[in-house]
Structure 1
């Protein structure tokens, strides 16, 4: 298949505080000598993540741009991707050719996933400080990302987390899909991440990687005065609100 000349667009999602921005800084440090990289950050009302990355000196500051979503973070990466798609395309045009564009989601929950119309592959980031049980809770972000990262493993002794068990739980939740235990202070794990990224880029250029649709948000519960209901975002079915005490049908 013919090689593509468009950059690999890689989404980075995960809950607040899991280290998405520091992960992007680590990726830039590991690959900036070999690849031409750009970054788009997302936040609701601020460009703080972009300013953090610029101050870290990991890239030319002009290659780091911010999108202020003004709404729920996952809306701008999955439901209405216009602002992000324009930002990515502008960055690719201004610094053509780019090899890799990293799109950082605003901090969200375990349902955060990117539209395949925006990105080609996605990372989902958990951290050990969030608790060793988080990985086995599953959800679209954990289950369907191309790579799940268990971040900040150097903190595990201080928060009482068994990293091998957390990784094993994550592998089970992902039906064997790849999981990487990572610390920015651990050169071996950073090297593993670098290898994975370069492999993904090679598949993208060769046209052998197909972006996966991560699907809708998982059904979730909304409380109200009647007790609450389960809400599904599955657009392939009629939306149904099932109230507490009855099985969810959507």
Structure 2
């Protein structure tokens, strides 16, 4: 399946089409997580699963090029029952499977709903990509973009559609800032300039409630989805 997508910077994501399943029930909310290699996407997904699993029926789809490393990590960490975690091997640049030909991911999320459902939430994690990574609106309803301070405090200033248009920008690994020379204040100012009123969360998963603000953002999207 190939869905139309923007060739320039996309607009901010809104809810994608086809919110109903074929049987007329409302499908799960789908949230995509993208970001560069090593930014902490999988760790963030794992932390979200731990924070939400007691109150939210959720599942995860991971994307890797030739392996299932991210799914294997989540399975080892036992963040969800094995049947709620599935992997897509993209065989090419990760953005192709989340933005261009999304058929493999669509099949994965639909299979999860058929086999495990009913689900409230499906997290779709992209393989490591660059600042141009965005999700098709035909695949996800909202996008989180994860960067980390070790990648340089100039990343927010560089922009790119991942940074500028994602529904939530997460600046991860803030505990490393003193060791890599990153200025968190500068990153906050640059992110504000690039994103205007779109939200930004600074996060360290080494703190007790590290993923708390992101988890609360997800809960708010679930409330909106349920009331729509």
Question: What TM-score does the superposition give when structure 1 sets the normalisation length?
Answer: 0.80
Query: Does the aligned pair in 1 maintain the 2:170–2:200 contact within 8 Å?
Result: yes
Distance 2:216 2:180 in 1: 29
Distance 1:63 1:167 in 2: 35
Match of 1:101, SS?
A: strand
Query: Does the aligned pair in 1 maintain the 2:157–2:191 contact within 8 Å?
Result: yes
Query: Does the aligned pair in 2 maintain the 1:180–1:189 contact within 8 Å?
Result: no
Distance 1:201 1:164 in 2: 30
Q: CA deviation at 1:191?
A: 2.0
Distance 2:29 2:75 in 1: 21
Q: CA deviation at 1:45?
A: 0.3
**Candidates 100, 105, 117, aligned match of 1:96:** 117
After superposition, residues 137-176 of structure 1 pair within 5 angstroms as 137-176=158-197
Equivalence for 1:87: 108
- Residues 134-174 of structure 1: CA deviation (Å, up to 9, x unaligned): 11100111111000000011111111111122122112111
Match of 2:201, SS?
A: strand
**Higher RCO (C-alpha under 8 Å, 6+ residues apart):** 2
Query: Does the aligned pair in 2 maintain the 1:181–1:189 contact within 8 Å?
Result: no
Equivalence for 2:88: 67
Q: CA deviation at 1:192?
A: 1.4
Higher-Rg structure is 1
Question: What TM-score does the superposition give when structure 2 sets the normalisation length?
Answer: 0.87
**Candidates 94, 97, 109, aligned match of 1:76:** 97
- Residues 53-78 of structure 1: CA deviation (Å, up to 9, x unaligned): 10011100111100001111101101
Distance 2:146 2:211 in 1: 14
After superposition, residues 10-49 of structure 1 pair within 5 angstroms as 10-49=31-70
Gaps of 5+ in 2: 1-18
Q: CA deviation at 1:188?
A: 4.5
After superposition, residues 119-198 of structure 1 pair within 5 angstroms as 119-198=140-219
Distance 1:28 1:164 in 2: 29
Gaps of 5+ in 1: 208-250
Q: CA deviation at 1:189?
A: 4.4
Query: Does the aligned pair in 1 maintain the 2:153–2:183 contact within 8 Å?
Result: yes
- Residues 21-50 of structure 1: CA deviation (Å, up to 9, x unaligned): 000001011111111110000011000000
Moved over 4 A (4+): none
**Candidates 126, 129, 142, aligned match of 1:108:** 129
Distance 1:168 1:180 in 2: 13
